[in-house]
Structure 1
Amino acid sequence: MRLLLLGGTRFLGRALGHDAVARGWQVTAFHRGVTGAPPHGVASVYGDRTVAADLAVLTRTGWDAVVDTWDGPPVAVSAAATALAPVSGRYIFVSSRSVYDDLSTHGLTEDSPLTPAGGSSFGSVKVAAEHAVRATFGHRTLIARPGLVLGPHEQPERLVWWLRRLARGGDVPVPGPPDLGLQYIDVRDLARWLLDAAQADLGGTFNVVSRPGHTTMGALLAACTEAAGSDARLRWVPPAVFSAVGIQPWSELPIWVPAGSGVRGLHETDSERAHAAGLHCRPVTQTVADTWAWLTSLAGPLPGDGLGPDREAALLRGPGA
Structure 2
Amino acid sequence: MRLLMLGGTEFVGRAVTEAALARGWQVTVFHRGRHDPPPGAAAVHGDRTDAATLGALADGSWDVVVDTWAGAPTAVRDAARLLADRAGRYVYVSTGSVYRHPAGPGHTEASPLVEGSPDADAVAYAEDKRGGELAVLDAFGADRTVLARAGLILGPGENLGRLPWWLNRIARGGPVLAPGPRDLGLQYIDVRDLAEWILHAVETGLSGPYNLISEPGHTTMGELLESCAQVTGSDAELRWTGPEEILAAGLAPWTELPIWLPPGELYDAIHRGEPAKALAAGLRCRPAARTVADTWAWLRERGGQAPLRPDRPQVGLAPEKEEALLRG
TM-score band, normalised by the shorter chain? over 0.9
**8 Å CA contact retained: 1:4, 1:30:** yes
Q: CA deviation at 1:241?
A: 1.0
User: Which whole-Å CA distance do the structure 1 matches of 2:164 and 2:59 have between them?
Assistant: 40
Partner of 1:134: 137
1:94 aligns with 2:93: yes
Task: Describe the shift of the 1:243–1:30 C-alpha distance in structure 2 as closer, same or farther (beyond 3 A).
Answer: same
Q: CA deviation at 1:103?
A: 4.1
Query: Which deviates the most, 58-67 or 259-268?
Result: 259-268
Task: Describe the shift of the 1:300–1:99 C-alpha distance in structure 2 as closer, same or farther (beyond 3 A).
Answer: closer
Q: CA deviation at 1:40?
A: 0.9
User: Which whole-Å CA distance do the structure 1 matches of 2:159 and 2:202 have between them?
Assistant: 24
Match of 2:167, as an amino acid?
L
Q: CA deviation at 1:259?
A: 0.8
User: Which whole-Å CA distance do the structure 2 matches of 1:144 and 1:109 have between them?
Assistant: 13
SS in 2 for 1:262: helix
The counterpart of 1:293, out of the listed 285, 291, 297, is 297
1:193 aligns with 2:197: yes
Query: Which deviates the most, 81-90 or 102-111?
Result: 102-111
Partner of 1:64: 63
**8 Å CA contact retained: 1:31, 1:48:** yes
**8 Å CA contact retained: 2:258, 2:316:** no
1:212-291 aligned at under 5 Å gives the runs 212-291=216-295
Partner of 2:326: 316
Partner of 2:311: none
Task: Describe the shift of the 1:292–1:72 C-alpha distance in structure 2 as closer, same or farther (beyond 3 A).
Answer: same
**8 Å CA contact retained: 1:211, 1:270:** yes
User: Which whole-Å CA distance do the structure 2 matches of 1:309 and 1:22 have between them?
Assistant: 42
1:3 aligns with 2:3: yes
User: Which whole-Å CA distance do the structure 2 matches of 1:229 and 1:298 have between them?
Assistant: 18
Q: CA deviation at 1:115?
A: 1.4
Q: CA deviation at 1:297?
A: 0.6
**8 Å CA contact retained: 2:90, 2:136:** yes
Q: CA deviation at 1:202?
A: 1.1
**8 Å CA contact retained: 2:170, 2:176:** yes
Partner of 2:49: 50
Query: Please, what is the CA RMSD of the aligned residues?
Result: 1.7
Q: CA deviation at 1:317?
A: 3.2
User: Which whole-Å CA distance do the structure 2 matches of 1:299 and 1:232 have between them?
Assistant: 20
SS in 2 for 1:4: strand
**8 Å CA contact retained: 2:185, 2:217:** yes
Write the deviation string for residues 202-255 of structure 1: whole angstroms up to 9, x where unpaired: 111000110101000000000001111100000001111111111111122110
